[in-house]
Structure 1
């Protein structure tokens, strides 16, 4: 009897400890001033060589770190460590300007990377179809009203030195709206801005942003795969499970509505999730967002034990943003991503008690966004507290 009582007490104690760990709150705080990683005026390889995606990093098989935060003509920073990467002017990827929206291969931003061995690197791509340049498809010629976005896949077999589409178009598509492109929709439509890829359990996960169109709801969608080499293996969250099979425009045999994702934590993740990393000490995930909440504009963080249930975002840093700045501001910021130079992951998907918040600083000229953009980073500290 005493042994049973002792065993029960131990079990309850472990459960309480487990519950306490799960309930730990994470706080990300600024721990220093901004520092410039690359300056457009000093380091640009071409006029349009500017940081236009969140910073992503991986180590290749030889130990070289590749840091990518690029435009549609993608280049990398490379070096022996995250702290010592330098611009490399070699083009590693770009889209092919295809005129057919069904091919999903127009202007493409390579956005997310994952490698198991440092030699083969899988990537997600944000493909923008710019129909304002094809007046027969979108007579208004308005960029935002004609824009359709999709997510596609690319792969490198030389350690990230170059990337190609993972399959011949359109078989390289990962996530697209099931509705055919119909020209001027009055606003941008589609699936946008995939985050970095993270491993959780037996799957790899990435967030992306969905705009409202047809039956598709607006918000942060989550997808996963168990096979990075197969673009069609990704499945979206439907609100209960990962059962959404993405199909290309008008290709569904059943109602298109069956192939739409359900936004995750729509009352919490009210903005594009730019990056997700796992905090090593607590096991929790940290998401970064650039948004305006409760009248405050800046960079926010939210935490989750499972990528589905998220804490209320905390304001990390107050700053003017790409779509929320005033003419009195010298610069605007966007694309926040947490990276730890001491990450234990080849893909920099985890962070310790300190890290850097990487961002793009858009230097304003007469209240306008130009190509003058810098990649900057700010040191942060991550602390835990009890329930």
Structure 2
């Protein structure tokens, strides 16, 4: 073994000194200081996970010095504590969260829910700050995820009581509007007879019927296929097929262009000349995946909602430079199945008619679950302030309104609606919105309707008729004088497609008059309802919320720390001298 040379000994001594110093430091840290009972008080930690337009705030919080105890969470609005924010209440973090315990190595409940007081539900944007309150004498902590920006839905009294959402859901009804009953009046009437009136072989009613009045006063009735024609007449009672094609699909197989097979499903016009229409666009996996078969297109199907427009009163429709409204976040994966007993079908599907409410234009659509679980199935909702712009649409999500076209929607009242989404009007007799569509749950498959005051919470659906050889329902009232047939009265019509003799192409468009009856019309507060001749939507927008809030018995004296980046997990705050804290925490 070689001994160090004379000029190397200083380096050896330096090395031994450092090793000794580290060893002594660790010994003091782990053996000496614990017996000295140094006071260490870490700030609470936690996460503000969500704040929803209906006023619900959720998340978790705990104090790592007392991980088995519950902590209070204090809430401020429109600014941090001590910097202009207003204290609005507190909640105890006492909801079971096993996921938190697994990560934080804690036990007991640490989740919280808080309902923002009603006076702040004003339709305006607010910022919510949440602070975990120390169980000891140390500082409090602004929770990670704070602040959350939300637009709180305006609260108007007088509507039904609504329960808050659970786990990001859209809530449920505690006192639902009474849907009343419905009966068929007279016999079905054929509006379009395929055998006598089709223009080309593919001229079939393959989507729910929509209607509007153009600038010349003519009624345009469209029940589109991916080759689209319209019916024209002075009223809905005398429309006839016009064989001037209004749009043909681009048939572009490029998935990212979203223009393969296109159905006009929701035309809307403000002046009768310029018409803007939502489009149901289908793309099929057989175009790129050899295991998928063209004859079974629906087994590998991805959908998109786009927009087309007409500047000649609905005679011709085309895309603008930007036309994508809502698109899937996923493209086709060769691992996705496409067999009849194991198919893939997802994306925003088949938008309803467009209707106006409180300065916005709304539409419902259907969502299907994708193989990776990004989307849920059910009825979804979107809105815009500008029907002429495809990019102005927002999707209703678990976190509020989102202008990302790939956003995953928050399905609306799935327990009641399932996937009912096809057609919506404001009914002047029921004094509520009426949503009509197909439903397959109890008491059996059929065309159903449900009613709502706020578009989020719906009554128990009522069956109108069965689904024996029929599909694609919509509700249109010929007596409504609005330009886009956004209203209905007591005796509207259900329009639907009838499949003749079970064949694919021989389909007729049929309508059936119905009559609503109710003895319990829900009370509505606000501006009186418009008549059927009015163009504006009803102004009553009651979005009722729970009456309970987490209100302290006395005004607390919160002690929040200033907003700052939270300490990393394991980093501690020590209240001893600098050297004692340095030794305790270590290098």
Q: TM-score, normalised by structure 2?
A: 0.56
Decide whether the 8 Å contact of 2:417 with 2:439 is kept in 1.
Answer: no
Which runs of no fewer than 5 residues in structure 2 stay unpaired?
A: 1-155, 162-175, 338-343, 523-587
Structure-2 residue corresponding to 1:9: none
3-state SS, counterpart of residue 112 of structure 1: strand
3-state SS, counterpart of residue 237 of structure 2: helix
3-state SS, counterpart of residue 190 of structure 2: strand
3-state SS, counterpart of residue 298 of structure 2: helix
CA shift digits 1:3-55 (9 cap, x unpaired): xxxxxxxxxxxx998779x9454433211211111111111111111100111
1:376 to 510, 522, 534: 510
Q: Tell me, in whole angstroms, the C-alpha distance in 2 between the residues paired with 1:192 and 1:301.
A: 19
Structure-1 residue corresponding to 2:401: 242
Decide whether the 8 Å contact of 1:153 with 1:165 is kept in 2.
Answer: yes
3-state SS, counterpart of residue 152 of structure 1: strand
Matched, 1:203 2:360: yes
Structure-2 residue corresponding to 1:89: 243
Q: Tell me, in whole angstroms, the C-alpha distance in 1 between the residues paired with 2:256 and 2:160.
A: 49
Which runs of no fewer than 5 residues in structure 1 stay unpaired?
A: 1-14, 248-258, 321-331
Q: Tell me, in whole angstroms, the C-alpha distance in 2 between the residues paired with 1:362 and 1:301.
A: 22
Q: Tell me, in whole angstroms, the C-alpha distance in 1 between the residues paired with 2:206 and 2:467.
A: 18
Displacement of 1:295 in angstroms is 4.2
Most deviating of 148-157 and 179-188: 179-188
Decide whether the 8 Å contact of 1:239 with 1:264 is kept in 2.
Answer: no
Structure-2 residue corresponding to 1:49: 203
Q: Tell me, in whole angstroms, the C-alpha distance in 2 between the residues paired with 1:184 and 1:106.
A: 22
Structure-1 residue corresponding to 2:112: none
Decide whether the 8 Å contact of 2:275 with 2:311 is kept in 1.
Answer: yes
Displacement of 1:240 in angstroms is 5.0
Displacement of 1:148 in angstroms is 1.1
Structure-1 residue corresponding to 2:267: 113
Superposition map of 1:1-387 within 5 A: 23=177, 25-132=179-286, 134=287, 136-141=288-293, 142-167=296-321, 171-183=322-334, 185-186=336-337, 187-213=344-370, 214=372, 215-239=374-398, 241-247=400-406, 259-320=407-468, 332-365=469-502, 369-386=503-520
Aligned residues: 343
Displacement of 1:317 in angstroms is 1.4
Displacement of 1:145 in angstroms is 3.1
Q: Tell me, in whole angstroms, the C-alpha distance in 2 between the residues paired with 1:16 and 1:157.
A: 42
CA shift digits 1:91-129 (9 cap, x unpaired): 101221112100000010110011111011110000011
Q: Tell me, in whole angstroms, the C-alpha distance in 1 between the residues paired with 2:159 and 2:362.
A: 25
Q: Tell me, in whole angstroms, the C-alpha distance in 2 between the residues paired with 1:375 and 1:19.
A: 37
Most deviating of 184-193 and 347-356: 184-193
Most deviating of 141-150 and 308-317: 141-150
Decide whether the 8 Å contact of 1:244 with 1:261 is kept in 2.
Answer: no
Decide whether the 8 Å contact of 1:336 with 1:359 is kept in 2.
Answer: yes
Q: Tell me, in whole angstroms, the C-alpha distance in 2 between the residues paired with 1:30 and 1:378.
A: 7
Displacement of 1:312 in angstroms is 0.8
Q: Tell me, in whole angstroms, the C-alpha distance in 2 between the residues paired with 1:18 and 1:223.
A: 23
CA shift digits 1:51-105 (9 cap, x unpaired): 0011100000110000001211000000111111000011101221112100000
RMSD: 2.2
Q: TM-score, normalised by structure 1?
A: 0.84
Q: Tell me, in whole angstroms, the C-alpha distance in 2 between the residues paired with 1:206 and 1:260.
A: 16
3-state SS, counterpart of residue 186 of structure 2: coil
Q: Tell me, in whole angstroms, the C-alpha distance in 1 between the residues paired with 2:471 and 2:355.
A: 21
Alpha carbons of 1:272 and 1:233: their partners in 2 closer, same or farther (altered >3 Å)?
A: same
3-state SS, counterpart of residue 33 of structure 1: strand
